[in-house]
Structure 1
């Protein structure tokens, strides 16, 4: 038995000397951020390849969240985007503790003044006004600046009689601004009333997540409501709803597909389909190619 043990030790030492000797077979140093794990299927994805696929998992089709700037880049024609109201920034009207710190942190992370980026652009040659909520800026929450920028964008589209497109990604109203935040729901909805009276097309795209006050206002008021795949769409969270109505909820009841089946949205599209679909809709509704 001792001979067997000694023989095993000898082989282990030979293995170590061969594969772990100095200068040989050093551990591979993999830089941080080189691979990304899919939240849905757990697959490790090469980050550059994932970006080429518009941040959609090639294994299961899960749509990763993307920022407002990237969304605009993959949606509009190159060099066609002209930004509006980029200098507007939130204050702290209620003097909430640490609110300024959170705003500064979000600004540094996104390189934006607030959670909404908007302007005029073309999509395959068709002009439109476009706005995008950025979930990386305080979860795309709607404060007074976001509501003001959305309203100004709607008014610009109404005056120019040019189609309006808004991508929503939000956790809802920004609680640090209290009633001033909640007022933006009525404000944006009122502006959309005049857009509708002017006969101007409004396409709303609901991405992951679209919830709270944004879902309860302008995000759900499109002439055409489109949901991006993998999106969570609803007003309150599942736990809050269950506690309120005292009933079990249907499985996946806040998914994009569930919303389509129950008439809350008109289309569910993958990220790869959205740009071409928007161009077709602009054409069908009398868009003039420039």
Structure 2
């Protein structure tokens, strides 16, 4: 009897070992047969989306309409008429005025990973055949922070818009002021705001597009100074981030529903409209046609 029970235990153990090896083999096979990046899980609804389908839908989840973050080139393709965009001030790049420890290494790493020289990409192009000066902030470069070179590129772009009498469009996406540049970074808020005041005095239109995330010094300056302020659905808009606020309050309790989301900001009157990404170009063309000085002069 004992021998029979011992034999059964041995067989059962062998079967379990075989089953575990089979499971491991199956998992390995699945991992090998599904290349990384083909399926992307939505951070909002959890649905697995086919990457090529997301590309075709401008990185909008087909299940819940969550807007994935995209870079400057995707925005150019999305907003600008084909073949009309020309980059300007491409050689403006950050320096290290305070000799901040590790800053130069961060700059090199961000350049290598993003292909950008600074957190904003600027140029001239057309939207719906309307001449525009366009700036796109890209969070892949140092989380889109506002530095001295960022401010310089934006100020030069505003000068170009005034010289060519065209509409200014800025796509905002930023973690705020760049701490490695301290007061040099904070000064850009005033510089850009002063330039935008000049643009307004010249009777020219400025449209701000606020995307996820837009925080800190960018929210406290030019993101909220547009004649028209548009936002993508679900964009996080605020001054201090949610984690910072919770740390300051000394609590892990969840913040109110909709806190800092574009929909809540719209309800409180700080932006004018929420526009899905795939309809943004058409909305911009319509607004420019209605509000630009050239159209007004022909009315």
Name the TM-score, length of structure 2 as normaliser.
0.85
**Structure 1 residues 250-276: Cα deviation after superposition (integer angstroms, max 9, x where no partner):** 422200000110000000011011000
Given that 2:78 and 2:278 are in contact with CA atoms closer than 8 Å, whether structure 1 keeps it comes out as no
Q: Is 2:278 aligned against 1:272?
A: yes
Task: Number of aligned residue pairs: give it.
Answer: 285
Partner secondary structure for residue 120 of structure 1: strand
Instruction: Specify which of 38, 41, 44 is matched with residue 40 of structure 1.
Output: 44
Moved over 6 A (4+): 4-9, 242-248
The CA RMSD over aligned residues, in Å, is: 3.1
The corresponding residue for 2:267 is: 261
**Structure 1 residues 195-229: Cα deviation after superposition (integer angstroms, max 9, x where no partner):** 00001000000000111000001110000000111
Partner secondary structure for residue 96 of structure 2: coil
The corresponding residue for 1:227 is: 231
Give the superposition deviation at 1:28: 5.4
Structure 1 distance, partners of 2:269, 2:47, is 33
- The worse-fitting range, judged by mean Cα deviation, of 209-218 and 104-113 is 104-113
Given that 1:142 and 1:174 are in contact with CA atoms closer than 8 Å, whether structure 2 keeps it comes out as yes
Given that 2:166 and 2:204 are in contact with CA atoms closer than 8 Å, whether structure 1 keeps it comes out as yes
Structure 1 distance, partners of 2:169, 2:86, is 14
**Structure 1 residues 126-146: Cα deviation after superposition (integer angstroms, max 9, x where no partner):** 111000000111110000000
Gaps in structure 1 of 5+ consecutive residues: none
More helix by share: 2
Name the TM-score, length of structure 1 as normaliser.
0.88
Structure 1 distance, partners of 2:114, 2:60, is 21
Structure 2 distance, partners of 1:88, 1:201, is 25
Alignment of 1:18-57 (within 5 A): 29-57=33-61
Structure 1 distance, partners of 2:76, 2:293, is 19
Structure 2 distance, partners of 1:5, 1:150, is 75
